[in-house]
Amino acid sequence: MSYQDDKRELLKLKQGLIEESEKIHEEEKPVYELHGFKKVENFFYHYKWHVIVGVFFAAVVIFLAVNLLTKKYGDIRVLVVTKDAVNSSQIQYKTEELREAFELYCRDYDKSGYIYVDVYTIDLSESTDPQYSLAQTTKVMSEAMFGESQLYLVDKLGAAALSEDNDEVFVDLGALYPDCPFIDGRYLQIKGSGFDVNAQYYSACPEDLYLVVHNVS
């Protein structure tokens, strides 16, 4: 079939004069079957971004699930609130030692088979970062209104901020333990009490660091 014949047949098809040409046959594209590694390689070539996104979300879900299942929930919660700059800078590095010291005195209140104390720190000392200062102040306000902490480890400025200068939010420890030399009214001084030794804080422990108990009555 000549070139001119092909051209006439194509023109007829284009104009709708014929629906199918017996002279011109379209060549069917060969179909290749892929097997083994080539099939996997072809799949990843076409769907690699789908696979990457799917793996990412699966990893996030697994991480959250493991974190939830293995997370320890505290028998008690201790909030550390300091406003003196020196106290705040030191206490940030003592969280783990403080946790271990509190656990020596704590019972297994939730009957979980282990003792765990949640220790959270709030730094109210002056900061050059206004957003950081606002975040710490917000934490204190939230704790004062909705907090679940049973114990507070504070310096006097931190206690004033936490209680809004109303010491009655703390239990009167002096009335409960009048013979304890480390208790002054509502404040149990940490330095020299033995707790400082358990927290490995006996040398650098400041005089201005106290344990107070949340008054829930």
Where is 131: in which H helix or E strand? Answer: helix 130-146
| pLDDT tens digits along 173-210 | 999 999 999 999 999 999 988 999 999 988 888 899 99
Residue 69: its pLDDT value, please?
A: 47
Shortest CA distance to 24 belongs to which of 52, 41, 4, 40?
A: 4
Residue 142, classed as helix, strand or coil, is helix
| pLDDT tens digits along 10-58 | 666 565 555 555 554 454 555 556 555 566 666 666 666 666 766 666 6
> Residue range 159-171: average pLDDT?
85
Residue 44: its pLDDT value, please?
A: 62
Whats the size of the chain, residue-wise? 217
Residue 154 has pLDDT above 70, yes or no: yes
23-46 as b/e: b if 16+ CB within 10 A: eeeeeeeeeeeeeeeeeeeeeeee
Cβ neighbours of residue 193 under 8 Å, at least 6 residues apart? 182
Residue 185: its pLDDT value, please?
A: 92
Phi first, then psi: what are they for 8, rounded to 5°? -65, -40
Please report, for the chain, the start and end positions of each structural domain, with discontinuous segments joined by +. 27-71, 76-213
| pLDDT tens digits along 54-108 | 666 666 666 545 544 444 556 788 889 998 888 888 888 888 999 999 999 888 8
pTM: 0.62
Higher pLDDT, 76 or 147: 76
Residue 1 has pLDDT above 70, yes or no: no
> Residue range 104-123: average pLDDT?
85
Place of tokens 């109210």: 124
Residue 68: its pLDDT value, please?
A: 43
Task: In whole angstroms, give the CA distance from residue 68 to residue 173.
Answer: 37
What does the DSSP assignment read for 56-108? HHHHHHHHHHHHHHH----SEEEEEEE-SHHHHHHHTT-HHHHHHHHHHH---
